[in-house]
Structure 1
Amino acid sequence: MDDGPLSDLLVVDLTRALAGPHAAMMLGDMGARVVKVESPAGDDTRGWGPPFVGEGEERESTYFMAANRNKESLVLDLKDEADLAILERLVARADVLLENYRVGVMDRLGLSVERLHELNPGLVVLSITGFGHDGPEASRAGYDQIAQGEGGLMSITGTEQPTKVGVPIADLIAGMNGAFGVLAALHERSRTGRGRVVRTSLLAGMVGVHAFQGTRWTVAGEVPGLAGDHHPSIAPYGMFRTQTVPVQIACGSENLWRVLCGVLSWDPAEPGFATNPERVAHRDALVDRLEAHFADRPAEHWLALLAEAGVPSGMVRSMDSVYSWEQVLSQGLLLSVEHATQGELRLPGSPIRFDDQPWSGGRSQHLAPPTLDQHGSAIREWLED
């Protein structure tokens, strides 16, 4: 069935943990058939918790569920010759293979790039590592916590000390970069007929999103520090205390500053605050003044006034609030799937929609994260055809 823009693709997912599985899930969201090849022990994240759902042998990790929707599970021991032969038959039919082993492991398994392309010259291979495929530290194991620190992100996150982002952002960005690279290689293959190796890493992903914080150093020679809750180059642009909970305000232009001043009955041309560079230079005084103004009314009062005036603003939502918010639901960002042992589950959805589809991703029917080897027998039978 044609169910998504990638529905003609077969993806072999040899990855575990998060970066690789996230890349494979993105391709699966768009309709690709993704076969997740797991060791007999299963993906590491099957044991990451709590929280879990279910009990005993049917216990499932919510962490695993976050990165493995729209996949089939096949257990293979890649050190076993018979199982390796099954994988090779799968590779021969595939369009894409993803792996995130340490540098050199695929070669030792007998799955070098040369061997993969001998089996299938059109295969696109995505390889994700922690710190890159060459260079003096290529052999290091890559985990999100380490990459956030080594890649500089933690040095600009937090208020009083370096702080990690609340999700494994290095893994997630590496996965997104990997999926993007795969699509580029597939487009090239449509012209050449040949597969290509796509390489990325957690470190590359972190450096790749430095944006203006990176150019503060590379161009201006200024080492950025902790950004806290406020934008280092724009003001007012951050989080401000009120009588109840904080509100967020983003004045990204001089016109928005004038509109905000209209709400507050302030003079937008007041010396020290008239231009964005002045406001950045006097940010602490500006924050203190805004918070003193906001202190006598609850957040709801200020958010209503700001919204009416057209000043970009908002609250800080907890996860339960996000997933009950009508705007999130209207975008198809909450999926309902039927799990093999847990029944109906609600999962975060794909961030991409096509045309007027009410669902997220490119497919109308999403698959629940698989139980270990759930599809093993069916895949083996299919490979025998």
Structure 2
Amino acid sequence: MIGVDEALARVAAALPTLPAETVATRAALGRVLAAPACTAHPLPLFDQSAVDGYALRHADLHTIPATLPLAGMVAASAQPARTRLAPGTAARIFTGGLLPDNADTVVRQELTRRDGDRVTVLEAVAPGTDLRREGEELAQGSVVAAAGAQVTPGLLAALALAGAHRIAVRRVPRIAVLITGDEVVPHGAALKLGQVPDANGPLIDAQLTRWGFPPLSIDYVADREEAVREALARAFDRADLVLTSGGVSVGDFDFIPAVSEQLGAQRVLWKVAQKPGMPLYVARRGASLLFGLPGNPASVLVNLQVYVRDALDRMLGRDPALRWRHARAPAPLRREKEKTFWLRAVVDADPQGQLHARTLSGQASHMLGNLARANALLRVPGLHEDTATDVLRWLSLDG
């Protein structure tokens, strides 16, 4: 049996690489850039006014107040041609309007008085005031966002403004989910004596949806070796990531490890010194990675949050370390010599802003009732780890 950190390292080393694909920028929300996204033109695109006011030559403001005749108007719209400002004149201009040639300053309208076709500047301004210069934010060809950046609404807007109409992103991993167990009945179906409603399928589906992955189809597989073999073979052929629930321990109907290896998968790990979630099985066949999750719902929750999310982040080019946070540990704190505990908890801040963790009752691996209140998964190190326990690492269950 191996520890949590070694298990994470083994999974990271076994990950398949997802190819890149080019998509329309407007369809890229939530995706991860596979290559730097660059500007197709400078930002701003041209010299423009930052305010509603008057464009002029600063050299014409000999004295204050200064009165100049108006030579035209520039709206923030398409222009038939560039205009040139004659010396000793001003042009009415609006925010975003194309700055006339020869103008070098904009005086906002609050500092002026308009009288027919003449404008009087009432207060002195510095040369270059209230201008947005072409390329002052980014020159043409500059990097807007580096590879590995996730496309947020803000980044999507920046890419659109930069003229990046199509961008290279990591392909979304194809995910297959298999729920094993003759006693497990799909959510909403009628139960017979000895059967239980499936919680793991809805849990996996909901968690992946929250993380931004498309809705899943879930296959239910009977506790027969041939049924498991057929389902796993189909899943390996069509998916980058295969998630199974149940069938990974040492019982007579726990077929996942043996069958996956009969199908050519190479074992990455089996059994991690943790509670809950100890009988985790991970294997790789070709470009597919299999996570054999235990059947108890709390074990599924832990392994999804700790290992599956870590793998998905890495496959998409994200840094999984950014998910980990720290909080003051609860007391008393139970620890074991060779095992990491994962505890569902509530983490909140005291009046000074210090985060504190409170563990919840009902931590058994078959229980999920405390998830109505839990917002954190708390990592409690084993006694063998040379780690301080007054402050513990935790993962958010809210995102």
| TM-score of the pair, normalised by structure 1 | 0.26
Question: Which structure has the highest helix share of the two?
Answer: 1
Greater radius of gyration (CA): 2
Question: Which structure has the highest strand share of the two?
Answer: 2
